């Protein structure tokens, strides 16, 4: 879960709730991972937050794939070979992109619509939800209409629609809400570049209609800025590692600044 949320720093309480693990049990697990150097711990006020220590995780994987199996290629070659299959060809002309949130009623719908408008000639864009709503959020639809988007073809979709043999092979998969990233999403074939662009859920905003509408406007603005930064990346000149870092960095754009 923390790998999917990388580079977020996640509170212990949220981890416990998401994985349905008792706090005392989770504390023991986290302690072991900290002792192994695979996690980092940060205190924010009274809350302890945890994130992946990427360097040490990479060293562990290198050891398992290279050092541990040295001299026994019959053990390691099938696993190692699978990491090289279906790698994204960054020289291709059009990329398949999937945005995921829980309900697929607002944030991921925003992202799908914005990317299609900004660079639809370069990207085939899709969105889905892990627990999709029966219909799109009316305030989200209103914001899209106000921005001049065509909403006639939009609908909430289950992520399972994109896991069959006939589904598109994705080059990029982005989660735009923490809950979706916390869940055990499918392992995508073709090894797409993935990143977590978590944002506050405008659907949960309270107050007057004007205040709630402002939350949707802020989410739209933040996503538009992140997606503008994404479309500006020189896809054909960046190697995979550099591109992965770039999309991770976009996910760390300050949400308040991004929405201005």
Q: Which fold has domain 95-258?
A: Rossmann fold (3.40.50)
User: What's the CA gap between 221 and 205, in Å, rounded?
Assistant: 16
User: What's the CA gap between 127 and 111, in Å, rounded?
Assistant: 8
Smallest Cα–Cα separation from 161: which of 132, 190, 120? 132
The crossing angle, in degrees rounded to 10, of helices 138-146 and 107-119 is: 20
Domains 2-52 and 95-258 share a fold: no
pLDDT > 80? residue 82: no
**Where are the extended beta strands (E) located within 53-164?**
95-101, 123-129
pLDDT tens-digit series, residues 168-221: 899 999 999 888 777 766 667 777 899 999 989 999 999 999 999 999 999 999
pLDDT > 70? residue 98: yes
User: What's the CA gap between 116 and 16, in Å, rounded?
Assistant: 37
What does the pLDDT read at residue 74? Answer: 57
Contact (Cβ atoms closer than 8 angstroms) between residue 259 and residue 222: yes
Contact (Cβ atoms closer than 8 angstroms) between residue 2 and residue 52: yes
pLDDT tens-digit series, residues 161-180: 998 888 889 999 999 988 87
**Residue 232 or 18, more confident:** 232
Q: Which two tokens stand for residue 12?
A: 């212990």
Confidence of residue 60 (pLDDT cuts 50, 70, 90): confident
Confidence of residue 24 (pLDDT cuts 50, 70, 90): very high
* 10-11 sheet: strands from edge to edge: 10-11, 47-52, 39-44
What does the pLDDT read at residue 226? Answer: 97
What is the rounded average pLDDT for all residues in the chain?
A: 86
pTM score: 0.74
What does the pLDDT read at residue 81? Answer: 47
Q: Give the residue extent of every domain in the chain.
A: 2-52, 95-258
Confidence of residue 86 (pLDDT cuts 50, 70, 90): very low
pLDDT > 80? residue 73: no
DSSP helix/strand/coil, 82: helix
What does the pLDDT read at residue 221? Answer: 96
* Domain 2-52 architecture: Orthogonal Bundle (1.10)
């Amino acid at each position: 879960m923390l790998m999917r949320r990388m580079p977020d720093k996640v509170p212990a309480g949220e981890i416990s709730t998401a994985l349905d693990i008792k706090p005392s049990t989770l504390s023991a697990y986290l302690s072991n991972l900290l002792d192994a150097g695979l996690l980092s711990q940060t205190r924010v006020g009274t809350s302890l937050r945890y994130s992946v220590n990427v360097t040490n995780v990479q060293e562990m994987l290198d050891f398992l794939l290279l050092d541990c199996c040295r001299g026994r290629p019959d053990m390691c070659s099938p696993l190692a070979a699978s990491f090289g299959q279906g790698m994204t060809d960054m020289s291709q002309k059009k990329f398949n992109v999937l945005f995921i949130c829980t309900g697929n009623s607002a944030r991921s719908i925003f992202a799908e619509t914005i990317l299609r408008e900004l660079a639809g000639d370069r990207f085939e864009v899709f969105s889905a939800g892990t627990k999709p709503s029966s219909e799109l959020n009316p305030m989200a639809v209103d914001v899209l209409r106000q921005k001049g988007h065509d909403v006639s073809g939009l609908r909430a979709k289950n992520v399972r629609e994109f896991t069959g043999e006939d589904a598109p092979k994705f080059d990029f998969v982005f989660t735009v809400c923490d809950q979706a990233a916390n869940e055990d999403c499918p392992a995508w074939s073709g090894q797409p570049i993935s990143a977590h662009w978590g944002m506050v859920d405008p659907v949960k905003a309270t107050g007057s209609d004007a205040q709630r509408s402002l939350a949707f406007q802020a989410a739209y603005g933040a996503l538009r800025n992140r997606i503008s930064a994404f479309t500006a990346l020189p896809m054909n000149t960046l190697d995979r590692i550099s591109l992965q870092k770039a999309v991770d960095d976009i996910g760390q754009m300050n949400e308040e600044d991004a929405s201005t």
